[in-house]
A and B are shown apart, each in its own frame.
Chain A
Amino acid sequence: GAVVSQHPSWVICKSGTSVKIECRSLDFQATTMFWYRQFPKQSLMLMATSNEGSKATYEQGVEKDKFLINHASLTLSTLTVTSAHPEDSSFYICSASGGQGYQPQHFGDGTRLSIL
């Protein structure tokens, strides 16, 4: 089955640090990747959609300069949280889909980001 690997699974860092999260599709080509954010006991909120080779489409209210998304290949997308602050602490989840017509989204395990 389609597998999406997300790395790291947990990161703790100081305020002001930039953190990069990787999302890889291991056995399929992901033409589209999605990044979600999940606060404790709340649902997944879509942050942005990225298509391979083009700029990401951000949802309203998501800062493009804060959350940099790169989707340079069909198997890798990265989310960089720049100059992270405690309020950026959250659970970040990526998903990927690929191919023609309807393709289901496959989710990574998520990354827990804790900013001190």
Chain B
Amino acid sequence: DAMVIQNPRYQVTQFGKPVTLSCSQTLNHNVMYWYQQKSSQAPKLLFHYYDKDFNNEADTPDNFQSRRPNTSFCFLDIRSPGLGDAAMYLCATSRGGGKDSPLHFGNGTRLTVT
């Protein structure tokens, strides 16, 4: 089945230690998104790639970066994780960025910062 796969499902990192979360997709969608979801809150968009074009949300901290080496893969890098960055990180894809294009989500990576 075509899908969005996130690895790992659970990630523990130390305060200030860089961490990378991975996302891959077999849907061949051209748009990939990273959302942050804190406990009991709605997912919040961090940034997205439309093809190779990177689009950062205005309020996304500089501590968060992303890379998309090819259509299938996208990475979220947190340069110096703080305790407040503990959250579920969701990767999603869509075919195009149009209004009627639904997003397809992976199962997320739960990040713990110790």
A-B interaction: no
User: A-contacting residues of B (Cβ < 8 Å)?
Assistant: none
